[in-house]
Chain A
């Protein structure tokens, strides 16, 4: 898959322009056009209690957003990237998915806001809902992310996010797709880490011999992945761990100083999606790195 045309959705949070500029790295692998999208949530202009629709407010917002997007468009044009502006009123996820379909983009980029405790418990946020439903890759962008290590709050600025991506694979079909996507980043990614974690659930009921067998099989598969990347001309290294998958993926990403985590997005049932979240969703939620989810 090539990232020739991407949809960049923004709410103009801090550092949104920084996040956009990161996308320009993709010009090295064929990026030609960015669709700049701003969705005005319907509630912001409609349903004024006992009043009407605030058309003037809608136009005012659209004007301000268009001005900002035009400036962004000029920055993109300097780098040889075309841009198109889409400002619409509606339900954000529905509008984003609809524009992505109409414009036939290769990837959706959406920022993530800081979350409250309740929102962390309830994984089914709007952005994860978007990730769950998107038929194309979605990049959960985190240009500047706060995270916690040993009780300390740290801030990380994520730049050149495609330079050192880490693929966390579970050997699923979407993981295969993720591998193919990474291969298409040749010329941009300097090194790729391929990681696999043997989950606690699997190892719990295993004898040591069985565990060794699984490790052996996993190493073999990891090497196959690595060979495919190397054969495609990319530098790659592997990592095999066992333990709690989400925590291990994050640990490995930090250990190898990854610039981004790439995951295949596996389908889960409704309950898991909304109240528990799959591994991919929880990594996307917890990690301080941008997360690219590949369906």
Chain B
């Protein structure tokens, strides 16, 4: 019994949004009660650890099992925290679960869905010949686009033309790896639309344009990588002496679904406005949420739907567009968000929480950059960002409400937020599991016949040799 996946996902999104608006408040705000973060034991973070380990290990050890059961695994780990939590802490636990779903998860998924949908409606055509200059330019364009259409959107837009342009080349593996470095990760550092962790920061009170503070870091890292790439590609190009592409098969350059760029602009504006205006708050299940955030969610759903309606189905088909990746992200992230609740609460409690030893051991911005980065490289970077943001808040402003604490952090210790932001975005490129588009790019490249390194091969041959030295340079210059 299979229903059209588009319908299921649409209903899923609607089901997420509508009940939360309709029903009234019946949960307890923790502000009037005990601080869970101060009493939760460290082992309450175990489901979070297992959730992330499942993402890291199952695709390696049991890919077939994982492919068919990842949703159940995600729900299992979510339940393994949620059920005992609800039994023991009742209303307070319910509040925390609803809070993370309403404030973080729903907007997060809606933004990813809208960016993914709209960018999937843009098709780049044309016979480009993959020379070092052309390839470097493509990587540069993708890197610049990533901050505005999301790393996932930019990666999906560029990967197939990039692979087609280089189909006549022998050594394509390193090209795709640099593609992952630049377009699927580092390029997304400039705006909250670029990479999921930055959007989570935005939802928690980091101003939209604050992330432009990461521009120098991004320019340096991307610049070094592009130069490295150009030299590596030139070296291989000279050795390969590729045969010229058959001009009879030449397809003129063109873009189909151009109107979707307007939809991307509409997404940017929707997100931007929600960060500027203040239309008050309403209570949904006892969770106070901003009206402008709900309006933004609605607009993003509308924009995505309009994009689907107005885009020719052949554009999606030629892009090999599939709903599978975004549905997978939705399933996995419900597990991640729910299981990370205790971890976030404990970190927010600062010196009074069970992770006081950890908070006390991370002081310097460089430590934040590297610890956020290392965790981001092997766990997903979005939850890692929130974890370390809360670590910093716990370190400096554990007694303040979150938004106030973030404002103070930006005003008084911006370097810490820069380190966390850059660390979570940049290090997402360190492995296939660091950021969602990495695995999509890998999958598409392998399908197109480009051999990709194994999980550890990627780390040993590329991350350690190329990325880490770049991050060392970034550390010395900025942190």
Partners in one complex: yes
8 Å CB contacts to B: which residues of A7-50?
Answer: 42-43, 46-50
User: A48: nearest residue on chain B (CB-CB)?
Assistant: B67
Per-residue interface assignment for chain A, residues 106 to 122, with 1 indicating a CB less than 8 Å from any chain B CB and 0 otherwise: 00000001001011001
Q: 28 A-B pairs, CB-CB below 8 angstroms?
A: A42-B320, A42-B324, A42-B447, A43-B322, A46-B447, A47-B322, A47-B328, A48-B439, A49-B59, A49-B66, A49-B328, A49-B332, A49-B439, A50-B55, A50-B56, A50-B59, A50-B439, A51-B60, A51-B66, A51-B432, A51-B439, A52-B443, A53-B442, A89-B447, A91-B320, A91-B322, A124-B4, A133-B313
A221 at the interface (CB under 8 A from B): no
Q: Does B63 contact A (CB under 8 A)?
A: yes
CB closest residue in chain A, given B446: A53
Q: Return the contact of A91 from the options B3, B317, B442 (Cβ within 8 A).
A: B317
A201 on the B face (CB < 8 A): no
Q: In chain B between 52 and 89, which residues have their CB closer than 8 angstroms to a CB of chain A?
A: 55-56, 58-60, 63-64, 66-67, 70
The range of chain A's interface size is 20 to 34
Within the complex, the shortest CB–CB distance from B439 to chain A, in Å, comes to 5
**Cα distance, A115 to B2, chains bound together (Å):** 8
Q: Is the interface of B mostly helix, strand, loop or mixed?
A: helix
* Residue in chain A with minimal CB distance to B57: A50
Query: Counting CB contacts under 8 A, is B440 at the interface?
Result: yes
Residue ranges of A at the interface with B (Cβ–Cβ < 8 Å): 42-43, 46-55, 57, 89-91, 93-94, 113, 116, 118-119, 122, 124-126, 129, 133, 270
Interface: B182 (CB within 8 A): no
Residues of A within 8 A of B1 (CB): 116
Which B residues are in CB contact (< 8 Å) with A55?
446
**A49 to chain B: which residues have CB within 8 Å?**
55, 59, 66-67, 70, 325, 328-329, 332, 439
Given contacts A53-B442, A54-B67, A118-B3, whether A48 and B59 have CB atoms under 8 Å apart is yes
Q: Which residues of B contact A (CB under 8 A)?
A: 1-4, 7, 55-56, 58-60, 63-64, 66-67, 70, 309, 313-314, 316-318, 320-322, 324-325, 328-329, 332, 432-433, 436, 438-440, 442-444, 446-447, 452
Q: Which residues of B contact A57 (CB under 8 A)?
A: 64
User: Given A52-B432, A52-B446, is A119 in contact with B3 using a C-beta cutoff of 8 Å?
Assistant: yes
Flag if B443 contacts A48 (CB, 8 Å).
yes
Complex Cα distance, B442 from A43, in Å, reads: 14
The contact of A51 among B4, B59, B332, by CB within 8 Å, is: B59
Q: In the complex, what distance in Å separates the CA atom of A90 from the CA atom of B329?
A: 21
Residues of B within 8 A of A89 (CB): 447
Residue from A48, A93, A124 in contact with B66 in the complex, judged by beta carbons closer than 8 Å: A48
Q: Is the CB of B447 within 8 A of A122?
A: no
Q: Is the CB of A47 within 8 A of B446?
A: no
Which residue of the partner chain, among A54, A124, A129, contacts B64 with CB atoms under 8 Å? A54
Residue of A nearest to B380 (CB): A50
Residues of A within 8 A of B316 (CB): 91
Query: A217 CA to B438 CA in the complex, in Å?
Result: 65
Which 4 pairs of residues, A with B, have the shortest CB-CB distance? A51-B59, A53-B446, A94-B317, A43-B324
Q: What residue in chain A is nearest B448 (Cβ atoms)?
A: A53
Q: Which residues of B contact A54 (CB under 8 A)?
A: 63-64, 67
The answer for the CA separation of A157 and B270 in the assembled complex, in Å, is: 56
- Beyond A51-B58, A51-B66, 9 additional contacts (C-beta under 8 Å) are A42-B324, A48-B66, A50-B56, A50-B433, A50-B436, A52-B446, A53-B442, A53-B446, A119-B4
Chain B's closest residue to A118 (CB) is B3
Q: Please measure, in the bound complex, the distance between the C-alpha atom of A49 and the C-alpha atom of B58, giving whole angstroms.
A: 10
Nearest A-chain residue to B440, judged by Cβ: A47
User: Contact at B324–A52, with CB atoms within 8 Å?
Assistant: no
Assess whether A93 is in contact with B443, with CB atoms less than 8 Å apart: no
Asked whether A42 and B322 contact (CB < 8 A) given A50-B59, A91-B317, the answer is yes
Within 8 Å CB of B447, what residues of A? 42, 46, 53, 89
Residue from the set B2, B64, B324, B447 with the largest chain A CB neighbour count within 10 Å: B447
| Residues of chain A with a CB closer than 8 A to B325's CB | 47, 49
